[in-house]
Structure 1
Amino acid sequence: MAARRHRPARRGQPLDRRHAGRDRARPRQPCRGRRAAAASAFPAWSRLSSRKRAEHLAAFAAGLGARRETLIELQMANNGKPRFEAELDISDAIATFEYYAEQATGLDARQGADVPVPDDGFRARLRQEPIGPVGLIVPWNFPLVTSAWKLAPALAAGCTVVLKTSEFTPFAELVYADIAAESGLPAGVLNIVTGAAEAGEALVANRLLRKVSFTGSNRVGALVMRSLSERTAPVSLELGGKSPILVFADADLDAAVDFIVGGMFTNAGQMCSATSRLLADKAILPALVEKLTARVSALKVGSPFEDGTEMGPLTTRPQFERVQQVLNDAGKDGLMPLTGGRTRDGGGFFIEPTVYLDVPDDHAIWRREIFGPVLAVRGFSDEDDAVRLANDTDYGLVATLVSPDKERTDRVAAALEAGMVWVNSQQVIFPQTSWGGFKASGIGRELGPWGLSAFTGVKHIVEAV
């Protein structure tokens, strides 16, 4: 199965959409028709055999594959991703649909599994049933990827969906409508709406939807949870991060630089998983910083359609302006970058990859999720100090460890408060493993069997025998 890799920049290189359509509702109720369609379609879709649902999921994987080159170029144009990143996005989405097609195939066979009970006079059986029509809200940084992570398990479980795209990057995800039409997906099973905050608010507030799965900022996630709490509806939240990468004294420094650059400057740092806090043993900190600064300052920043581009622009003007403000504030606070820290001349939403050394642990650059190409660096004195600094954050999404000492990496991985820990690795994400974090990084898990469980309810049947 293919896996997503947040690949480092390379050294030395530089229809009728009635059942899955664009939103055509009136401005005051931008999601009304789509929500009602999902609710009406749910009974029949939930009763369809899981094997038949698997066939539809496989059709989504095949449909994405057939449009691969078009979608790659669309991601490049709409998001500003260099080609190698856009290629990984499409591969990730295809792999996700393929995985959940496999999961759906055997779902019916697992229903009614016996549950041991301590009384021979009773028999208990387990069913996991679809929770109903659901709302899926996805962000602009990884179109197709975040939607596949939600859409595939929801459909596999037997839920019908209303998918709201980002208002900034809707184009790639609208292809799901074409694939649904081609594959004969029943009307109302997949519904796609576009729009900004108003569309999201209407989606979350509607009582026909029995759950909402949201990926985005903590600020908006809190609003989603607050709205759903009014009717005590369940929610899954995949939110932010301020993740550490820990480099120990025995690390291969060239490999460490690869992992740092890949974990921080992929997608111009617009990742919830960005390892934006570098913690390095003080014994090797000067040598590591020298290598890192040379590498980062040589990264080619430019249009995704230029040969050799290693980092593209930020995706949206609002995000560009937010990161600009962060850099301006850092200068006012007396922080001077080792490299970067400026916007690129000539226009566009380009910000130089930026590295700050010895950032105070109470500064916004150390504590806040910047969502841009801004790396903060500090040294640690020993393993306990490294773990303490790594865990001193409101978030707990991911972490990376760099050391050949397996006993140490096992020990530190167990001590870190993070939902995913990579050891001597780029950010590789398999559909079979979970995605999600601790603390303010969210509620629930995506991917793997946990992603499927997020769209099912547990039912036990206990009968006297």
Structure 2
Amino acid sequence: MLDNSAPVRPVAYDMLIDGRWVGAASGRRMDSLDPFAGAAWASVPDAGSEDVGTAVAAARKAFDLGPWGRSTARERAALLRRLAELIARDADRLAAIESRDNGKLVREMTAQWRYMPEWFFYFAGAAERIEGSTLQSDRPNFTAFTRKEPVGVVAAITPWNSPGLLLAWKLAPALAAGCTFVVKPSEHTPVSAIEIGRLVEEAGFPAGVYNVITGGPEAGRALVADPRVDKIAFTGSTDVGKAIAKSAADNLTGVLLELGGKSPNIVFDDCDPAAAANGIISGIFAASGQTCMAGSRLVIQRSIMEDVVGRVIARAQTIKLGDPSLPETEMGPVATPQQHAKVTGMIRAAVAEGARVACGGADGGPGGLFVPPTILVDVTPQMTIAREEVFGPVLSVIPFDTEEEAIAIANDTEFGLAAGIWSLNLQRAHRVANKVRAGTVWLNAYRVVAYNAPFGGFKQSGSGRENGVGAVDEYLETKTIWIELSGATRDPFTIG
């Protein structure tokens, strides 16, 4: 399936810092791997702490001294709308680039990039609605009001699974708030952040407002530890999120964390079996299972388990693996060799713990970085495969008998990002939704997001919320201003 017979010279990209396209100060570069071809397709600078410092300084200057710090909401909104138009213009090209960078289906990436402009249009409107409030003072000689001000310099670290979209989730509200921005994309998928930089320039944003650093862990550590950063926005694993939070605490830097998940898809015996089977398949096998919200635990009522799981297995066995650029391909490879090793290792460990492979398996793929759609049965809630995030196309089937048992299994996790509930009983669906500890719950659906719907997790799935009008508040500070009205000279030791 893989053809490495005709090596192609990697496309060379540079970083955007203070309006200039530059390499790393050290001169080091690193390659980005095409997961399907198994070869480097792009080359980017391998930034170090010096480069990070330069980027943060540029963002700091643009915020403190540049025109962006003095910009009006109307001006910011106009630039955000222009950026949205440029992304819409280039959506298909950007989708092809991102598919090559992380191996996801071009058709999925195309839909994602065509929808992405809506984030910038939405937050352009939100920029013009940032408002303070007048306070009711119980002191007749004072009046008071609040104003919302941008937090300052935002450092964003984005993952490899949906790098463009998850950058937009952070960039659009941050720019709407009036912040400046430094992004370090994953070293595995650096190109989309660079391409957005080109569009930011074309849209007319001032130099230093948007800066891109490409590099590995050294660059990430330097960025989150820089005391000139006012807010850190991170999407990725829970372990890395905890490390970032600890580093941020040294400078009391605010953090917005969207972390891991072990989300349950809860299926009751009064569901529509065909709809539930489709939702289960979409929830775990779309994007090769590489989503934080993946419905990796099928918590299913025992009385319908054979029917519904049988439907899922039958469809999983027909999923076409292959070249993500082809329209007939239904599932591409996982994004990196490291992730392939992790996913297949976890499947083997699950079998060693007593799970049984009903479909797929660690050794059932066509080679390369492919992992076949895998369904594990005889899984208990205590098994590692049912408790730790796999981030791959692996479904664990866990039966239950009663509603109370289903809720207990669903909540028996350190995560709380998302959940699905399948039931045609409206009362039951709402009742269970209210009791499941998760930031997003879908009823008779799965894996739906939108620019105006808040997204984030409970427990160790993160802190804060992205999307929705409240996302702008993540990048704002509230200032209270008191005004003395009488003008009288008063005793400085008198209160009130």
TM-score after normalising by structure 1: 0.93
Question: How far is the alpha carbon of 1:22 from its aligned partner?
Answer: 5.3
Match of residue 11 from structure 1: none
Partner of 1:366: 386
Aligned residue in 1 for 2:18 = 19
Structure 1 residue 210 displacement after superposition? 1.1
Name the counterpart of 1:354. 374
Read off the aligned partner of 1:155 and give its amino acid letter: L
Larger RCO: 1 or 2 (CA < 8 Å, sep 6+)? 1
Instruction: Write the mapping of 1:202-351 to structure 2, written as runs, cut at 5 A.
Output: 202-343=222-363, 346-351=366-371
Give the corresponding residue for 1:155.
175
**Residue 96 (str. 1) matches residue 95 (str. 2):** no
1:83-122 matches, within 5 Å, as 83-107=106-130, 110-111=131-132, 113-122=133-142
Give the CA deviation at 1:302. Answer: 1.4
Partner of 2:116, secondary structure, is helix
Q: Secondary structure at the match of 2:307?
A: helix
| Structure 1 range deviating more: 422-431 or 139-148 | 422-431
The corresponding residue for 1:393 is 413
Question: 1:376-410: CA deviations, max 9, x gaps?
Answer: 01111111111111000000000011111111111
C-alpha displacement of 1:124: 2.7
Deviation digits for residues 123-174 of structure 1 (CA, Å, limit 9, x no counterpart) = 3312111011110110000011110000111111010010111111111221
Selected match of 1:40 from 42, 57, 61? 61
Structure 2 gaps of 5+ residues are 1-13, 27-47, 486-496
Tell me how far 1:58 sits from its aligned partner.
1.1
The code of the aligned residue for 2:473 comes to S
Larger radius of gyration: 2
User: Whole-Å Cα distance in 1 between the matches of residues 155 and 443 of structure 2?
Assistant: 35
Could you tell me which of 77, 81, 102 is aligned with 1:79? Answer: 102
Q: Which runs of 4+ in 1 moved over 6 A?
A: none
Contact 1:268 1:311 in 2 (8 A): yes
SS in 2 for 1:235: strand
**Offset of residue 265 of structure 1:** 0.9
Q: Which amino acid aligns with 1:98?
A: F
Select which of 183, 193, 201 maps to 2:213: 193
Shift of residue 92 of structure 1? 3.7
Find the aligned partners of 1:28 and 1:255 in 2 and give their Cα distance: 50
Structure 1 residue 273: deviation in Å? 0.2
CA shift, 1:451, in A, is 1.2
CA contact (8 A) 1:397 1:420 kept: yes
- Alpha-carbon shift at residue 69 of structure 1 (Å): 1.7
How far apart, in 2, do the equivalents of 1:69 and 1:298 lie? 28
Q: State the percentage of identical aligned residues.
A: 38
Deviations 1:92-134 (A, max 9, x none): 4211111111111333xx24x2233455554331211101111
User: 1:420: which partner in 2?
Assistant: 440
Pairing partner for 2:51 from 25, 30, 36: 30
Match of 1:377 among 386, 389, 397: 397
Q: Deviations over 1:1-38 (max 9, x none)?
A: xxxxxxxxxxxxxx994535455334452312111000
Q: Does the CA contact (< 8 Å) of 1:23 and 1:193 recur in 2?
A: no
With over 3 angstroms needed to count, the CA separation of the structure-2 counterparts of 1:345 and 1:381, relative to structure 1, is closer
How far residue 306 of structure 1 moved from its aligned partner, in angstroms, is: 3.0
Rounded Cα–Cα distance in structure 2 between residues aligned with 1:211 and 1:65: 28
Paired with 1:433 and 1:237, the residues of 2 have a C-alpha distance of 17
Could you tell me how far apart the structure 2 residues matched to 1:343 and 1:88 are?
31
8 Å CA contact retained: 1:241, 1:398: yes
Q: State whether structure 2 residue 147 is matched by structure 1 residue 127.
A: yes
Any conservation in 1 of the 2:15–2:213 contact (CA below 8 Å)? Answer: no
Q: Hey, what does 1:7 align to over in structure 2?
A: none
Higher alpha-carbon deviation: 27-36 or 354-363: 27-36
221-230 or 299-308: bigger deviation? 299-308
Letter of the aligned partner of 1:258 in structure 2? N
Shift of 1:269: 0.5
Please list the CA deviations of residues 54-76 of structure 1 after superposition, one character each: whole Å capped at 9, or x if unmatched: 11111221111111121121122
1:8 matched residue in structure 2 = none
Secondary structure, in 3 states, of the residue corresponding to 1:440?
helix
**Separation of aligned partners in 2, 1:202 and 1:382:** 50
Contact kept, 8 Å, 1:296 with 1:339, in 2: the verdict is: yes
Q: Between Structure 1 and Structure 2, how many residues are aligned?
A: 448
For 1:429, the equivalent position in structure 2 comes to 449
What amino acid does structure 2 have at the position aligned with 1:210? Answer: D
1:439 to 459, 476, 493: 459
Are residues 1:63 and 2:86 paired? yes
Alignment partner of 2:329: what SS? coil
Give the CA RMSD over aligned residues: 1.7
Q: Secondary structure at the match of 1:147?
A: helix
* Post-superposition offset of 1:182: 1.2
> SS in structure 2 opposite 1:427?
coil
Distance 1:31 1:308 in 2: 42
SS across alignment from 1:431: coil
1:424: Cα distance to partner?
A: 1.1
Superposition deviation, residue 346 in structure 1: 4.6
Residue 49 of structure 1 is matched in structure 2 by 72
- Secondary structure of 2:396's match? strand
AA at the equivalent of 1:218: T
Aligned equivalents of 1:439 and 1:38: distance in 2? 32
Alignment partners' CA distance in 2, 1:338 and 1:16: 46
Letter aligned with residue 45 of structure 1: W
Q: What's the TM-score, normalizing by structure 2?
A: 0.87
Distance 1:360 1:167 in 2: 36
Whichever residue aligns with residue 222 of structure 1, its letter is K
Shift of residue 91 of structure 1? 2.8
